[in-house]
Amino acid sequence: MGRSTAGFSSAGFYMALITVSYINGGKEMINDKFTDVEQRVMENWHNGSEIKDDVNYDDPSSINIKFFRGLMKETAYHEAGHLVARMFTGLEFSHVQLVSIIPDKVTNGQMRCERPFTELYLEQVPMAQMQRSQGYSLLLELFAGYGSVMVIEQSECETLWEYFYEELYIDEEYYEDGSDLCRADRIAGILSRPHFSKDRILGMTAGWTLEMLKMPAVWNAVETIAEILISKGEITNENIEIFSDLRRTLNVPMVMKMPKWSRRIYGK
């Protein structure tokens, strides 16, 4: 049993990678300026995607390495945001198995977790306070991906939802089953009450997410993990100590040790 927190997916990202990667009629990758990780990203994106017919492979002048690397960077920060949010809340952190920017058929990157019991069974949690604290922690994690990208883009939007609509132009693709926003929408729906609407919960926790990312120790952790992902492509938990060591090294603050955040998340 496992679950992935998916990075963004788009035909546009695919088109950029193919244009950057394959020249000479789309048959050969010959640019030796790419790192090993960049080569893996481009090869996986090409092999995994099902939309090849719309690409013009015959125009070497359209190669845009800077744009490609910018997209890789966004994916790395997106996934780093998810992981650091788990460090911050402590929710099922030990369940994380993989954080990767190597694309597949569905996503540009992912954070894969085993035994995601909290999200799967949130609706069945009998105690309202426990359900609320777990739901808020999940929402911080889901929003931290896009929130981290919003920060590195130096967006002038005041809220994450404004960023979604004004700069990402979110559409049905962003609400596909399993996407960050689809899952956030479901979780907020579970937590909602007649006096506390789903939209209010989404807006509140999105605001908390940006506040969390502004904390120097949190943002330093996001940057550090993003750099690791760009250089290595992925972080795995095959050695059980890797994530706990990373957590200690980065010294990410924890919700339970900060009174304001503890009151928000746990109601204490």
Q: CA 32, CA 96: separation in Å to the nearest integer?
A: 34
Quick one: residue 264, left, alpha or beta (phi over 0 = left, psi -120 to 50 = alpha)? alpha
What are the tens digits of pLDDT across the range 170-179? Answer: 776 667 778 8
What are the tens digits of pLDDT across the range 35-75? Answer: 888 888 877 765 554 434 343 434 434 446 777 788 899 99
Where are the chain's structural domains? 70-266
Contact of 167 with 155, CB cutoff 8 Å:
yes
User: Listing from the earlier edge strand, what are the strands of the sheet with 234-236?
Assistant: 2-6, 110-114, 96-100, 234-236
Question: What is the CATH code of the structural domain delimited by 70-266?
Answer: 1.20.58.760
Question: What are the pLDDT tens digits along the chain (268 aa)?
Answer: 455 665 554 444 444 444 444 433 333 443 446 788 888 887 776 555 443 434 343 443 444 677 778 889 999 999 999 999 999 999 998 899 999 999 887 788 999 998 889 999 999 998 999 999 999 999 999 999 999 999 999 999 999 999 998 988 777 666 777 889 999 999 999 999 999 999 999 999 999 999 999 999 999 999 999 999 999 999 988 765 667 778 888 999 999 999 999 999 998 6
Residue 152 in tokens: 């590195």
Length of the chain measured in residues: 268
